[in-house]
Structure 1
């Protein structure tokens, strides 16, 4: 992508829009994990989720700082996504502790996979920030351990959690597609209107196929059928 494009106000605004979506996702994850920690059956599990909530807030701050560097206001670029995220979380509200753990692993994992994919359309500095805001393997390993321990204690929950994971995948993909289509700047960025290879229908299909494959792998790590 030419330097003239990367320094244009329209491109900066589009990237800020993208970062706003990701920053709000981190903020929502922080609030949800903090609430879920109150439901934890053990002190160690409560501590684990509280630490994850703190990490999500740090990720949010990292993204917000980059939004400021791009000349935008973090609150302004995040605000348009608030309603969509609230609707998603209302549709996928866990009814049990185990469902909350699976949502933190599977649901947040899908969001991070999507962020990793669309980071390719951002400038190098923003891409670095996005990649730095993604959760690490240590966090995911803790969630897998918590989920597996819960399913060992309650084997009857396995079938229900498999269905829950499929529902999370469907809802997350629908929400991601809607977000990409409803924001003009984000649409322009992803479709290559600022230069480079954009997402046509074929490439978009390939992207969501990759997300589905990663979801299947994630479910397998839990011992669940996708």
Structure 2
């Protein structure tokens, strides 16, 4: 009697941090770039599920951290181990509408997308904020086996938007990388869809790793 092959499951948690935190959308060829009412200096960042920034484009929501951390994952079928075909990852995010405050349906299928958004409000000056992401070198299993984080990439999309990508598609570097620049009094967002490159046969197990998105301004 044949035995069932052990599964290889990759799970990646995404978190975010700064003054205001929520979680948001991502895109595959487009994004949204929206105006924010000027005011006292404030940053707003969300990755996946999060809290609305308050009324449309004013970023007057309560300061602090929402605390939600979403998970994207994929289980590699035994017959496809290491065959080099990218495998789509699913998400436990339920965030489909924008956290900008206008109710736009930015990520129609959050079960396969993660919404990412970043905004910077200021009273004046020319400084911009920087959106970045930090990933560890590897995803790691309980047995100590590893998969390079460079095996995970993402595409972007934003239905209904004709704005060129302001948060581009990419591949995790296993280090800190800059994703986008956010001008003052601007909010950007789109939906990210993640995939696993499946370029080598890996030991059975559940591999975990967490990436952290940050938004900073001088």
Q: TM-score normalised to the size of structure 2?
A: 0.29
Flag the structure with more relative contact order, 1 or 2, with Cα contacts below 8 A and sequence separation at least 6.
Answer: 2
TM-score by length of 1: 0.28
